[in-house]
Chain A
Amino acid sequence: MSQPITRADDTQQAFASALLICEHCDTVYRRRPLARGEVARCQRCHAVLERHQRIGLDAMFALVLTVMVVFVQANVWPIITLGLNGTQIHATLWGIIIMMWERQSQIVAVLAAGTLFFFPLCKMLLLGWLLAYGRRGRRAPGFRRLMVILHYIAPWTMSEVFVLGILVSIVKAQLYFDVTADAGAFAYAALALLITVFSGIDMRQLWDKIPQAAP
């Protein structure tokens, strides 16, 4: 950057990226580069300020694609199969949602559809879209608005809770029936693992890592 910074926005951004504010207690820090595996903690409230992000944009994109593949598997295959006297019942995610809707628990059906299907799906598609452009160094169309949406839907995905729910249901149903975990259950377990990997990644870094195109 040899050109002088003239636009107000640029000055703002340059000065801003040198500083860091703890989102938990509002303490201001000077940002410093982190070593591999290092975690910066706030001295006032001991919360995590910033983690060293060792996963680059390409790896993140690959991870999102993997999650998408696993997500499709988790939704297509039956999760649990229950057998009684030769009859078999397979439960899939959408089978569960529809069943709860029909049994006067529409609110539960909506909660399950949101937290287990729509929000995770939105999150993956948004990330995939942002990263597909981002890894080529460009901001995707609608970058700003999509990043804000991503911030708001992030807490509402609950696939990992569902995995524990599958486990408890199997144990409970096993008391009376012949139950087997199906392909869907294993896909969900894999999904939970991938989500754990993802949880260490701060998505806000995309703001810094994907620069705005020069006007």
Chain B
Amino acid sequence: MSRALPRAHELGLIGCHVCGLVCRDTGLPEGVCPRCESALHRRVPGSRARTWALLIAAFIFYIPANFLPIMRTASLGDADDNTILSGVVELWVKGSPDLAVIVFTASIVVPMLKFLVMATLLLTVHCGTNWARTQRAKLYRLVELIGYWSMLDVFVVSLLTALVQFGFFSEVEPLPGVVYFGLTVVLTMLAAMSFDQRLIWDCKDEDD
């Protein structure tokens, strides 16, 4: 298999990570892409450490994001604080269950999936196993594709805050949970971006 499908380093080539140009690997540590002048490297330097750091930071923010309320609905002096989960429940019970499923997916399933997938990828890459490589690569691409949809709840809170402002009569106010949640989304996106997926394929091809 490795004969039929040669990889870049076997041929002394590097694909530029920014513009995709195929370049000759000069072996110098500070190679530059002749087309876009970005730094050339086989693998993103420090990818694993950076991904771990961002993922852990995201997880730290994820805890208050879920436990602190994200939004307060005040009506005639009666205040009601909503967390992400209780917002989904409210939508399910009172409004439309189908939208509740979408919000549940975007704000709870997707972030959880991201943490699980990224941690699994980092651990398996660390072990150097070639277990389920195609599936892991697909999971990574899925996470990268759907990751930013988690911003949904942040936008909903912002929209409702701007809309409902009748003072004492009725008001929606953002609470700190939404800030933590927004930061979680950004940090998980950064974590996914800093992970070099080529690492998944870097172990020895024993079965070929």
Interface on A for B, CB 8 Å cutoff?
9, 12-13, 15-17, 19-28, 43-47, 79-80, 82, 84, 87, 89, 91, 95-97, 99-100, 103-105, 107-108, 111-112, 115-116, 144, 147-148, 151, 155, 158, 161-162, 164-169, 171-177, 179, 204, 207
Check A12–B95 contact: CB distance below 8 A: no
Residues 145-172 of B contacting A (Cβ, < 8 Å): 148-149, 151-152, 154-166, 169-170
- Neighbouring B residues of A100 by C-beta, 8 Å: 158, 161-162, 174
- Neighbouring B residues of A23 by C-beta, 8 Å: 15, 17, 20
Q: How far is the CB of B75 from chain A (nearest CB, A)?
A: 7
Nearest residue in B to A100 (C-beta to C-beta)?
B158
Main secondary structure of the interface of B (DSSP, over half): helix
Q: Which of A44, A96, A171 is close to B96, meaning CB atoms less than 8 Å apart?
A: A171
Q: Which of A12, A22, A107, A164 is close to B23, meaning CB atoms less than 8 Å apart?
A: A12
B91 on interface, CB distance cutoff 8 Å:
yes
Check B19–A147 contact: CB distance below 8 A: yes
Q: Which of A26, A79, A108, A111 is close to B201, meaning CB atoms less than 8 Å apart?
A: A26
27 intermolecular pairs with C-beta atoms under 8 Å apart: A13-B35, A24-B137, A25-B137, A26-B198, A47-B141, A84-B166, A91-B159, A99-B161, A99-B165, A100-B158, A107-B182, A108-B179, A144-B37, A155-B189, A161-B152, A166-B159, A168-B91, A168-B102, A168-B103, A168-B152, A171-B95, A173-B164, A174-B95, A176-B164, A177-B164, A177-B170, A207-B35
Check B15–A21 contact: CB distance below 8 A: yes
Q: Other than A112-B155, A168-B103, give 15 A-B pairs with Cβ distance below 8 A.
A: A16-B21, A19-B13, A21-B8, A21-B20, A25-B197, A25-B198, A25-B201, A84-B166, A89-B162, A99-B165, A108-B178, A169-B156, A171-B91, A176-B164, A179-B163
A51 to B134, alpha carbons, bound, how many Å?
20
Interface on B for A, CB 8 Å cutoff?
5-9, 11, 13, 15, 17-24, 34-38, 42, 75, 90-91, 94-96, 99, 102-103, 106, 133-134, 137-138, 141, 148-149, 151-152, 154-166, 169-170, 173-174, 178-179, 182-183, 186, 189, 193, 197-198, 200-201
Check B178–A82 contact: CB distance below 8 A: no
